[in-house]
Amino acid sequence: MCGRTACSLGADNLRRACAYRDRRGRRQQPEWIQAERYRPSYNKGPQSRGPVLLSRRHLQQDADSSERVLMDMRWGLVPSWFKKDDPSKMQFNTSNCRSDTMLKKSSYKGALLKGKRCVVLADGFYEWQQQSGGKQPYFIYFPQTKDTVVRRVPRHDEGKEGDEEWRGWRLLTMAGIFDCWEPPSGGEMLYTYTIITVDASKDVSFIHHRMPAILDGDEAIRKWLDFAEVPTQEAVKLIQPTENIVFHPVSTFVNSIHNNTPECLTPIELGAKKEVKDTPSSKMMLGWLKNSQEGSPQKKENDLPRWTSQFIHNPSPKKTSVDIMHQWLGKEGEPAVKKRKA
């Protein structure tokens, strides 16, 4: 399943990270629709809002179906046919949708057959392994290349490198279904989504028996989004488990949805003390978090920490994905990435 994610990039960098080639081979960045609603978070749960990609044709009938837009939608699909005034009164959980029943259940079938396919974006997702002493959380994400640039772009630089290839964190791209619900008594349309799940791949099945359907690569994303060119029966063939993921254990700090700091996804060493070790950069980070949260219940996107080179040591030629994450967070010295043995 997938019940918690992180997506910490600001709106401008998220747009850059989603750059793609259009039908003519031109490099494009998806347009943000109401970007001001988006809020980055290290700990997103159902009923919160999150960024998704979809075809522009869903919003503009004469648009090229291969053109993409970014929208901030609520997590937990509300079917267009839902009749009550308050979507929170739904009697069932629609944050996840099983791949084996998505063409059978009325909550998803109608939207899927109408081509309402989307890609849910995240740094990665959290999953909990059941253990005798409780549950151990893990953070699961795409492997990061050694060329990943770990420094977050300063605010005044954002948007200046739009034509250059994104070299920051590779976002996890999960297959989803969305729908648009209009309150019976009138009012603003509500866009919501669900994440499709599949049987877990071999490497992560020891954590949980289900995982999100991950679209690995732009061609898979193109086929999933372009509903005018790729019919439903063809698109659903993309819904498969993937082995191209890595993971590491994290602190139970992430268990509370109210905790929203980099500590949520920072690697820990199992069997060791769960608290994050004090380092100059972590002390400065925690100091920033304390100061930024005083008098402000929710941080704005541009208030998220943007680490500079003073917090980052020169990378080793053999960086692992966790090494990159430590540098992304401005930390070092934690254990190497865990990869399940066959």
Please give the positions annotated as active site.
2, 127
Could you tell me the end-to-end alpha-carbon distance of the chain, in angstroms, rounded to an integer? 22
Contact (CB, 8 A) for 119 and 239: no
Beta pairing class for 68-75 and 124-131: unpaired
The rounded distance, in Å, linking the Cα atoms of 49 and 41 is 10
DSSP sequence for 158-204: TTTTTTSPP-SPPPEEEEEEEEEE--TT----EEEEEEEEEEPPTTT
Contact (CB, 8 A) for 34 and 71: yes
CA neighbor of 5 nearest in space, from 131, 157, 174? 174
Contact (CB, 8 A) for 147 and 44: no
Q: What angle (nearest 5°) sits at the alpha carbon of residue 47, between those of residues 46 and 50?
A: 80
Phi and psi at residue 69, to the nearest 5°: -130, 160
SS3 328: helix
The rounded distance, in Å, linking the Cα atoms of 321 and 327 is 10
For the chain, what is the radius of gyration of the CA atoms?
20
| Cβ neighbours around 133 below 10 Å, total | 5
